[in-house]
Amino acid sequence: MIDIQILDKPLSVDDCRAFIADPSCGGEVIFVGTVRNHTHGKKVIRLDFEAYTPMAISEMSKIAQNIASRNDIHRVAIYHREGRLEIGEIPVIIGVSAAHRVAAFEACQYAIDTLKETVPIWKKEIFEDGEVWVAAHP
């Protein structure tokens, strides 16, 4: 079972647990991404996230389907937030439940690594002296 959401309000780890928890599972692995206050030694004020929502949902679903089809994996939740995020806020939560922990750890790592490569969502770093779209220029 899979839950994919893009929201413009704060994400909830409790909601993620509520979805992925199951009596057949012995382990839940939840990755929580957070907004860092610096990048390359420079102070970050906040991040602005933009999503191509229908395609982002589609690509996140592909990741979740890939994981959900693996042995041991029971439920997968991938939540991403869009809009303005302050330092310490949560742009992404990925939760995986499994019978055994090894599968859950591997699946969760795969999910965040792949999300960062394929999902059409963009973040802009806001500094005191300007703004930069992350990864846009070499």
Partner 1 sequence: MTNSSFRVLVFGIAKDIMGGSKVNLDIELPSNVDLFKAHLLSVYPAFQDVTSLAVAINNEYSTGTDPIHEGDEVAIIPPVSGG
Q: Does 4 bind partner 1 (CB under 8 A)?
A: no
SS3 (DSSP) at 53: helix
Non-local (6+) Cβ contacts of 69 within 8 A are none
List 46's β-bridge partners, or say none: 86, 126
Q: Does 138 bind partner 1 (CB under 8 A)?
A: yes
Q: Does 95 bind partner 1 (CB under 8 A)?
A: no
Q: Does 129 bind partner 1 (CB under 8 A)?
A: no
How many whole angstroms from its chain centre is CA 46? 18
Cα→Cα distances 59→18, 32, 51, 85, 125, Å:
23, 19, 12, 22, 23
- Judged by CB under 8 A, the residue of 11, 85, 91, 104 near partner 1 is 91
Q: Does 40 bind partner 1 (CB under 8 A)?
A: no
Q: Does 116 bind partner 1 (CB under 8 A)?
A: yes
Nearer to partner 1, 25 or 108 (CB): 108
Contact residues: partner 1, CB under 8 A = 33, 49-52, 54-56, 58, 80, 91-92, 112, 115-124, 133-138
